[in-house]
Structure 1
Amino acid sequence: MRASRFFISTLKEAPSDAEIVSHKLMLRAGMIKRLGSGIYTYMPMGLRIIRKVENIIREEMNRAGAIELLMPVVQPAELWQETGRWDKMGPELMRVKDRHGRDFAIQPTSEEVITDVVRNDIKSYRQLPINFYHIQTKFRDERRPRFGLMRGREFTMKDAYSFDRDVAGMQRSYQIMYDAYVRIFERFGLQFRAVAADNGAIGGSGSHEFHVIADTGEDALVYSPESDYAANMEAAEAVAPATPRAAPSQPLTRTPTPGKAKCEAVAELLNLPLQQTVKSIVLAVDSEEAGTQVWLLMLRGDHDLNEVKAAKVPGLANYRFATESEIVEHFGTRPGYLGPIGTKKPVRVVADRTVAAMSDFVCGANEEDFHFTGANWGRDLPEPEVADLRNVVAGDPSPDGRGRLAIQRGIEVGHVFQLGTRYSEDMQATYLDETGKPQLMQMGCYGIGVTRILGAAIEQNFDDKGIIWPAAIAPFQVVLCPMGYDRSEMVRTETDRLYDALIAAGVDVILDDRGERPGVMFADWELIGVPHRVVIGERGLKEGKLEYQGRRDAAATAVAVAEMPAFVRARLAA
């Protein structure tokens, strides 16, 4: 490719609405153009990267035995109504009507459509297992689109769906896809981590997320450096304290805490460690049969509620946070002084594992400006229900018993799910077994955010000059920067010779023949992030040398003219 025949449109400054590094650099490098809120045009430079990402994914999916098809972006509402997701997805699901007034969804994912395909075409156990995938545009009507391609409304995703006879078969298909994902991210050249995850709105029994490691990542990844344990924050288990609860040593005392509504302020006033205080979180569950039930969750003062874990407590699946009027009705005081002792109305108390092991703790006295000190389970209040309710913190013991937990930031770019019969049961996707009896198919689903990979890769690989692409997904692997290409026949001849040699060797190379000044030329390609650069100039040619510089290299390396093609190929292979 010659730059004069390509479209290069770089900017010195990013638009003011660009928020994070990847968003700013992609706009400056001319890879994307904003069309509307969360909607972008992929410019030629950006599209080259997307196609390389897609090609790697396609090669590994095919290698894993998945079969490519293409499902429509617009899907009839009836399929989504069969599974209940037409209502459950809420406003994130973009709904449209055709000219006849019929409802359709602009797909955010394709479980319903692929299940409909399979239930109509797969009849016998002899046709299983099978795995279909496609790479297609998706749309999710994010409430607040931001961060460019990281959280846009329209995006490209690879989604795959496996169908098996039984759970063991589903688990084998899941492992095949998990292994394929590891190969995909290794080929991308990105530092990543696979972590156990919560299934969320997709449903099913088990899942793993794949995260690109980046300090700017939105997600907290929990892992043990001493073992293979890894999970996202939502799924990471906080194990119960190993030591038994100590016997009470203090009397229960109603203690004045004027104006101190937060655990931190109470601990400071009473000159106690924050770890001796307990915070109260009040939830409510509404039902037609029982009306509204109020729950009190108790966490240690320095811990945070994990809302996903709370929803897994039996009876709390559809919880909401209680209103202030409900809190006053049940506790007799406003938030800030709440506790389990002496509530105005009965509430259901659930203590986090850590709190259940505490003695002589501090909690609200259900009276403004007062807390109880010396509170103890069994003596001052009944033993509670106990559940894992909190986010883990660095230094917690690993759930596998090997080492202490560490936390790093990551950007989710892939997710694999064991769905089981979540969709096949709703949509009656069955096959006939060896005895001729119908059985529900066991499903898995597997997604990669194709366009999100671009943003995540940049968040992991950039410097003050611009992007640093891994060679496998760079828009071009090598850029040739001739000094005076339009003025020097010597430079032009040697540049063309090198260009032809690299093309013949299968190297994805671009020749910058635009006639730009060296400073402009170098700045453009450093911003764009091409990982390998060769400079051709008269002075060097007279000495029989060319200059090579890797995007991460601090200085250039002089290489003999005749040796440069082999040198570049060796660097690419490395």
Structure 2
Amino acid sequence: MRWSQMHIPTLRTDPADADAPSHRLLLRAGYVRQLMAGHYSLLPLAVRVRAKVIGIIREEMSRIGAQEFMLPAMHPREVWERSGRWEVMGEEMFRLKDRKGADLALGMTHEEIFGTLATELSSYKQLPQIWYQFQTKFRDEPRAKAGLMRTREFTMKDSYSFDLAAEGLDAAFDRHHDAYVRIFRRLGIPAIPVEASSGAMGGSASTEFMCPAEVGEDLVVHCPSCGYAANIEKAVSRLPETADEPGPASPERFATPGVRTIEDLARGFGATGDRQIKTLVYVLDEALTLVLLRGDHPLSEQKLSDATGATALRPARPEEIQEALGALPGSLGAVGVTGPPVLADEALRGRTDMFTGANTDDVHLRGVDVARDIAVTTWADLREVAEGESCARCGSPLEVRKAIEVGHIFKLGYKYADALGIEVLDDKGERTPVIMGSYGIGVERAMAAVIERHHDAKGIVWPLSVAPFQVAIVIAQSDDPDTAKAAEDLYTALLAAGAEVIIDDRAERAGVKFKDTELVGIPYRLTVGKRGLAEGTVELTTRATGETLRVPLPEAVAHVQGLLREPR
């Protein structure tokens, strides 16, 4: 390919509205252009990288026996209603009507559609099956940002396993896990498998593959000592033992004028956050619910959803709270409450001599014994883990780091089989539901994650496995016939040897060409110039290290071939 004939619109300055390094560099290096918020056009270089990413994924999916499909991106309302997710998906689902008034949706994911196809399976002899596709997904993200990392239109590799029993699902899950480890290693993404919540997908087990990065929107809790890793929505930790005083025989009321926060009560009345009971009021599937945590612990809404099975949750409005409890936020508590259900975090179990609101404005209680004074409906792990807390496995301090989710695998169980009627005859001739798994990788997000981990001040540093070209030939003096001919001969020889090569034949200064090659991120650059030719050499520069060496011109092709064969 010739640079002069390719559309590579590089920019000399950083775009003002691009913060993430991958977003900035994809725009500057001429890989993408934004059409509107969350929607990007992939230009020729990006299409080449995307094809490499898909090729690696396809190879590893074939390795575990998966079969490739291509399903519609537009779906009828009815199939999503059968699974119960038409309403659950809420505003993130793009919805429209056809000319006949039928409700349709642009697919966010394809469990329902693959599940519908799986209703044609009739016998256990047809199982197991692993089906997958590369298909455009649509999600009406409220805050599309960071370039290709959070978009409204993107390509996903989504695969689905169908098995007769849980043991088969376990095996399919493990095969996908191992395939994902190989995929991300080949892509150059240092992905960490972490425990995660299944969320709206449902199911019994869930693992995310997280790439540590400062621009990541997820938080991963990690123990460097034993290797424990979990999304912060799922992570657990070990708290130090507490030794409370017994306290009074019953809670005591005391005036707290102007106290509205945990900090106010701690500052004015000596009630440290770990001795306070924080009372939050949520509406879970339209039911008002009290949620109790230690004063210094934040709530994980995903843990609350997982613990209750609620598909819709929101903080209660002030008027709803006052009607139910008789007070406004700042003076709320669960002592003596018998109406709404009360969910309490495990960190409050067995605590005595605690402080909480009295459900009277500007009044609190001291000496609260949780077991004695509060009718807890459900105990659950509801708090968000913090940096430095002890690992639940080994006791070492936990680290919390930002990360990008690049893959997610789920054990869906029987949710979709029951909803869609996916059944087969077992070896006894009885009908039995099929158990499912779901496994996804965002293709364009993976491209962005590679850049987040592989870039420098000069631009992108693509790993060889996904680079748009392996080698760039730069003609240092395009107006010199001998230099141009030597470069063209080298270009032809490399193409014949099977190298993916681009020749920069533009009538530009060598410095401009060098900067563009570095910005675009091509792993190897061969510079053909007058001085080198006079000595019978060309310059070979490695993008990742910046190392340049002189290679005899007759040996250049063989030398490059050796580099391209090296494992990466």
TM-score by length of structure 1 reads 0.91
Correspondences of 1:56-455 after superposition (within 5 Å):
56-120=56-120, 122-239=121-238, 241=239, 243=241, 245-248=243-246, 254=253, 257-270=256-269, 273-285=272-284, 292=287, 294-314=288-308, 318-341=312-335, 346-378=339-371, 385-401=378-394, 403-455=396-448
Partner of 1:33: 33
Structure 1: where are the runs of 5+ without partners? none
Aligned residues: 565
Distance 2:2 2:310 in 1: 61
Distance change in 2, residues 1:278/1:540 (3 Å): farther
Structure 1 residue aligned with 2:480, among 483, 488, 496?
Answer: 488
Moved over 6 A (4+): none
CA distance in 2, matches of 1:360, 1:402: 27
Question: d(CA) in 2 for partners of 1:242 and 1:276?
Answer: 14
Q: Secondary structure at the match of 2:267?
A: helix
Task: Identify if the C-alpha distance between structure 1 residues 28 and 314 changes in structure 2 by more than 3 Å, giving closer, same or farther.
Answer: closer
For residue 99 of structure 1, give the secondary structure of its aligned residue in structure 2: coil
Q: What is the aligned partner in structure 2 of residue 20 from structure 1?
A: 20
8 Å contact kept, 2:328–2:361: yes
**Contact preservation (8 Å) 2:199, 2:306:** no
Structure 2: gaps of 5 or more residues:
none
With over 3 angstroms needed to count, the CA separation of the structure-2 counterparts of 1:424 and 1:389, relative to structure 1, is same
For residues 283 and 70 of structure 2, what CA distance do their matches in structure 1 show?
Answer: 44
Alpha-carbon offset, residue 536 of structure 1:
2.3
Correspondence for 1:506: 498
Q: SS at 2:194's partner residue?
A: strand
Q: Secondary structure at the match of 2:307?
A: coil
Separation of aligned partners in 2, 1:203 and 1:271: 44
1:243 maps to amino acid: E
Q: Deviations over 1:437-486 (max 9, x none)?
A: 211111111111111112222222222322222221111122122211x2
The answer as to whether partners of 2:221 and 2:235 remain within 8 angstroms in 1 is yes
Cα distance in 1 for residues equivalent to 2:351 and 2:553: 73
Deviations 1:405-431 (A, max 9, x none): 222211112111111211111111111
CA contact (8 A) 2:159 2:440 kept: yes
Moved more, 209-218 or 263-272: 263-272
Q: Distance in 2 between matches of 1:352 and 1:249?
A: 21
Q: Please report how far the alpha carbon of residue 273 of structure 1 lies from its aligned counterpart in structure 2 after TM superposition.
A: 4.4
Residue 367 of structure 1, CA deviation: 4.0
When residues 316 and 30 of structure 1 are mapped into structure 2, their CA distance, relative to the original with a 3 A threshold, is closer
Per-residue CA distance 1:272-309 (angstroms, 9 max, x = gap): 6443333221123466xxxx5x4322222332101111
Q: 1:357: Cα distance to partner?
A: 4.8
Verify the 8 A CA contact 2:353 2:366 in the aligned structure 1: yes
Task: Work out whether residues 254 and 365 of structure 2, in 8 Å CA contact, stay in contact via their aligned partners in 1.
Answer: yes
> Within 2, Cα distance between the matches of 1:363 and 1:427?
47
Q: Compare 304-313 and 62-71 and name the one that shifted more.
A: 304-313
Q: Deviations over 1:147-178 (max 9, x none)?
A: 22212111111111111111111111111111
Deviations 1:214-257 (A, max 9, x none): 11100001122122422111111244x46365342689665554
CA RMSD in angstroms, aligned pairs only: 2.6
| Identity across the alignment (%) | 41
Deviates more, 1:542-551 or 1:407-416: 542-551
| Separation of aligned partners in 2, 1:341 and 1:487 | 87
Q: Which amino acid aligns with 1:97?
A: K
The answer to whether the 8 A contact 1:38-1:154 is kept is yes
Return the TM-score normalized by structure 2. 0.92
Moved more, 210-219 or 498-507: 498-507
Q: 1:554, CA displacement in angstroms? A: 4.6
Moved more, 312-321 or 96-105: 312-321
- Alpha-carbon shift at residue 488 of structure 1 (Å): 2.2
For the residues of structure 1 that align with 2:190 and 2:562, how far apart are their CA atoms? 22
